[in-house]
Homo-oligomer: A and B are copies of this chain.
Amino acid sequence: MATAIKYSRQRECIKEYLMHTDTHPTADMVYHHVREQFPKVSLGTVYRNLSLLTELGEIIKLDCGDGYDHFDANTKQHYHVVCTECRGVFDLHMEPIDHVNVLAGVNFNGKIAGHHIMFYGLCEECLNKHNQE
């Protein structure tokens, strides 16, 4: 028999938080937020629920190359920019370019199923700081 999933207030809080932010928080950032509402919450609980929600497809795990997993409740395919200055992660509002999968497959003898694109550059705030100097 498959394992039934029961409601938990902590998991709900995690999900709510991710659905109302676009900052792509790390597990630790989620932990600190949940702690405002559940001061005794365990970091393990946060990790367990982030994994569970990821498995369920309700959230997405992002690899931004900074050694932390970031989480995003926007599960539609979309791309991100990482600011090389502040390490912030931002959504990009551009259409997915799935034709690159075809391009990639031309000289590859396997099967291309999809892709992730991670852009890097400067966010608005850090760009302005640079321009002022």
Contacts and interface: CB of A to CB of B under 8 A. Distances in A.
Number of copies: 2
A97 B101 CA distance: 12
A12 B124 CA distance: 42
Interface string A53-83: 0000000000101000000000000010101
Nearest to A64: B63
Interface in A80-133: 81, 83-84, 90, 92-94, 97, 100-101, 103-104, 106-127
Nearest to A80: B104
B84 A94 contact: no
Interface of A: 63, 65, 79, 81, 83-84, 90, 92-94, 97, 100-101, 103-104, 106-127
